[in-house]
């Protein structure tokens, strides 16, 4: 195999791997499940912030 073909094959494998990972995240809704896990920590942090409530 030529050097160019090897590079293209590796690029194709990386692209397919990236697609498989993102497709799995999409199908199982993993991004929102992660968000649901970290939401209590974020709410706790943002509830501590002082706010200027003057209009």
| DSSP letter for each residue of 1-55 | --HHHHHHHHHHHHHHHHHHHHHHHHHTTHHHHHHHHHHHHHHHHHHSS------
Average pLDDT over residues 25-40: 97
Q: Identify the residue whose tokens are 């090897």.
A: 6
20: left (phi over 0), alpha (psi -120 to 50) or beta: alpha
> Which pLDDT tens digit goes with each residue over 34-52?
999 999 999 999 999 999 8
pTM of the model: 0.68
Two structure tokens written together for 18? 């990236």
- Is there a contact between 29 and 37 (Cβ–Cβ < 8 Å)? no
């Amino acid at each position: 195999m030529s050097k160019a073909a090897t590079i293209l094959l590796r690029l194709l494998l990386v692209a397919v791997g990236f697609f498989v990972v993102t497709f799995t995240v999409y199908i199982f809704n993993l991004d929102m499940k992660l968000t649901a896990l970290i939401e209590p920590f974020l709410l706790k942090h943002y509830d501590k912030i002082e706010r200027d409530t003057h209009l």
